[in-house]
Structure 1
Amino acid sequence: MGVIQRVVKPSTQRGKRALEARAPKVIENDKKTLFIHGQKTSPIGRDFLKSIYAFKRINSIYFGRKNPIFPFEEVEKLERLSKLNDTSLFALTTHSKKRPNNVILGRLFNHQVLDMMELGISDWRDLETFCKNKVGAGTKPCILFHGVGFTQSPEYVRLKSLLLDFFRGPQVTNISPAGFELAIQFTMFEGKIFMRCYKILLKKSGVEVPRVELQEIGPSLSFTLRRSKLASDDMLKTACRKPKAVLPKPVKNISKNALGTKLGRIHMTKQHLKDLQVRKTPAIKKAKKDQIQKRKMEKNLANAAKAANLVK
């Protein structure tokens, strides 16, 4: 006999709001990120988490204490923490002799690990190395990817998707140019991924469009892919499935070509142009009268010629 699970009903308004926030929705909430220190860490790994947490502070949870979590060996502890804090992304830093200055970036679906990428950090320069001109927390960044390596291997294709999902920030419909002040660049060259962060400065140019300048604000580092754990195609398809309420309703006889031009097909009954009622104007009447007289004249000439031939 199966065990009947007890249905938890909230006894307070706060508990009711918490359950409603975690309930499935047609348009889900912005993804929350969990920053975790492993059992053994390095100063570079801790500084990296603090620097990224400074960009994502609004929708993130930071665990400063050490946690004996090894995602590639066992994922139960990580999934339990994700379910407890209702997070969909995580960043875990570890350090060992075999894998120094290690960071693991991953995402979860339904509180189950979907993708994980283990990256090694090198050429580290923290925020304090650069100027004090920083950006505000929760700023939606402009993310740039350079290099053909992001499209050559399935691992790097999934890594690009993971980085985009991790750093893209909250979903918005409109962006003010004044608040668009952060650019994150990922460049891949010879197996290394170079990460650079810039502040977008809008200067006066004398015209309506401002002059754009970039000022590096850090952090600056290089990534090396060490290990990866990718989701299966079926699980990825389930995670990317969209509810029917979000999908646009199909419209009959209307389609779009490759350039985005809307094409429409119209179905009409057979038209009889002879019975088409047109506007009768004096010019049309005169032309019709002249045509009738011309036909009569031609007919008379033909009859006269025929009569002359019979007489002969």
Structure 2
Amino acid sequence: MLLQPKPKNARSKRVMVNRDPKVVENSKTAIFVRGSTTSQVILNVLADLYSLRKPDAINFTKKNEIHPFDDETSIEFFARKNDSSLFAVGMHSKKRPHNLILGRTFNYQILDMVELGIERCTPMSEFKAEACAVGMKPLMVFNGEAFNQNENMIRLKSILLDFFRGETAEMVSLKGLEYVISVTTGPPGINGEPGQIFFRSYTTSLKKSGVRQPRVELEEMGPSLDMRIRRVRYPTDDMWKQSTRIPKELKVTKVKNITRDGLGDKYGRVHLGKQDINKIQTRKVKALKKHLDGGPNKRQKTDIEE
């Protein structure tokens, strides 16, 4: 764990205060780091992912001797220096060709990461479709049962969702969904290992459909990646518990006897005490009135006398 530096002036103190934990955190920043040896495939992947992640992204153009699975100090130093909680590291070697590592940090320490092997890459420059605007939130689609059953695929899904979620928005306009990211899994291997992973991104265009809802057409804009999981590092139980803790200010106070269904409709339950039917206020009718002596009323007396 790196030591927290002390601020030397007012400007550096404001920067340190801005990095302190908040009830509502800032949007996460991702850093894209080149390894000591890289291939053109990895350079294209890092450049395209960086363009999708902008403006909350920092691209490192120089080579760095970095191996997150073997030595954590380098990536933790970069995370603290740039105040980032997401990282992507690209490298290439004979043992692990076209290697891409995606991971997250918590309190400037590595939380979890996934190592992917890129088997095929078609960069955005080879597609004719126009790229989406900078800073747009994508619609994420995950196809395949492995994303709900296999632990490695579940971890990869969580990291990808965190990587491309952007700023938190309460409401999203239909016209604001400019592109879609689709992640599909192939058939599993013989030993039950996850199969190939197909990463695709599409731009959306709204067409007239004759009804209120428009017809949506997709056009591939890239990057198009075929990859496979190599190594996965899971977080410790204590660190995962701290990273997923919800502040008290954001916890919803539970109200008694009020529930909501799956559609968001609110239902309330009212508890009443024991009711005495004789004390209920009813319509005042003379025929139903009781006299103090308990005898018949005047009309009944006259009928008896006759």
- TM-score, L = length of structure 2: 0.87
Match of 1:105 in 2: 102
Find the aligned partners of 1:150 and 1:6 in 2 and give their Cα distance: 38
More helix by share: 1
Give runs of aligned pairs for residues 108-123 of structure 1, distance below 5 A. 108-123=105-120
Indicate which of 17, 22, 37 corresponds to 1:20.
17
Sequence identity (%): 43
Aligned AA (1:269): G
Task: Tell me if the contact between 2:7 and 2:16 (Cα under 8 Å) persists in the aligned partners.
Answer: no
Match of 2:237 in 1: 233
> CA offsets, 1:69-91, max 9 Å, x none?
10010101110110111000000
Q: Are 1:220 and 2:210 counterparts?
A: no
Find the aligned partners of 1:6 and 1:209 in 2 and give their Cα distance: 53
Q: Are 1:31 and 2:28 counterparts?
A: yes
Q: Are 1:192 and 2:201 counterparts?
A: no
Offset, 1:169? 1.9
Match of 1:209 in 2: 213
Task: Tell me if the contact between 2:86 and 2:105 (Cα under 8 Å) persists in the aligned partners.
Answer: yes
Give runs of aligned pairs for residues 149-188 of structure 1, distance below 5 A. 149-188=146-185
Q: Are 1:11 and 2:15 counterparts?
A: no
Find the aligned partners of 2:28 and 2:5 in 1 and give their Cα distance: 26
Find the aligned partners of 2:55 and 2:145 in 1 and give their Cα distance: 33
Offset, 1:157? 0.9
Task: Tell me if the contact between 1:149 and 1:189 (Cα under 8 Å) persists in the aligned partners.
Answer: no
Task: Tell me if the contact between 1:197 and 1:216 (Cα under 8 Å) persists in the aligned partners.
Answer: yes
> Structure 1 residues 242 and 178, CA, compared in 2 at 3 Å: closer, same or farther?
same
Query: Across the two proteins, how many residue pairs are aligned to each other?
Result: 288
Q: Are 1:270 and 2:267 counterparts?
A: no
> Structure 1 residues 254 and 207, CA, compared in 2 at 3 Å: closer, same or farther?
closer
Structure 2: gaps spanning 5 or more residues: 188-194, 291-295
> CA offsets, 1:267-304, max 9 Å, x none?
33322110112232xxx546889xx89xx69x98xxxx
> CA offsets, 1:119-166, max 9 Å, x none?
011221111111141111111000000001112221111111111111
> Structure 1 residues 259 and 45, CA, compared in 2 at 3 Å: closer, same or farther?
same
What SS does the corresponding residue of 1:131 show, helix, strand or coil? coil
Choose 1 or 2 for highest CA Rg.
1
What SS does the corresponding residue of 1:245 show, helix, strand or coil? helix
Task: Tell me if the contact between 1:36 and 1:91 (Cα under 8 Å) persists in the aligned partners.
Answer: yes
Find the aligned partners of 1:288 and 1:26 in 2 and give their Cα distance: 66
What SS does the corresponding residue of 2:248 show, helix, strand or coil? coil
Offset, 1:179? 2.0
Offset, 1:6? 9.4
Offset, 1:112? 0.7
Stretch moving more, 261-270 or 112-121: 261-270
Aligned AA (1:195): F
Cα RMSD for the two superposed structures: 2.5
Indicate which of 55, 64, 68 corresponds to 1:67.
64
Aligned AA (2:68): P
> Structure 1 residues 223 and 247, CA, compared in 2 at 3 Å: closer, same or farther?
same
Match of 2:74 in 1: 77
Offset, 1:259? 6.7
Stretch moving more, 268-277 or 138-147: 268-277
Aligned AA (2:239): M
Give runs of aligned pairs for residues 277-296 of structure 1, distance below 5 A. 277-280=281-284, 284-285=285-286
Find the aligned partners of 1:287 and 1:250 in 2 and give their Cα distance: 48
What SS does the corresponding residue of 1:121 show, helix, strand or coil? strand
Q: Are 1:47 and 2:48 counterparts?
A: no
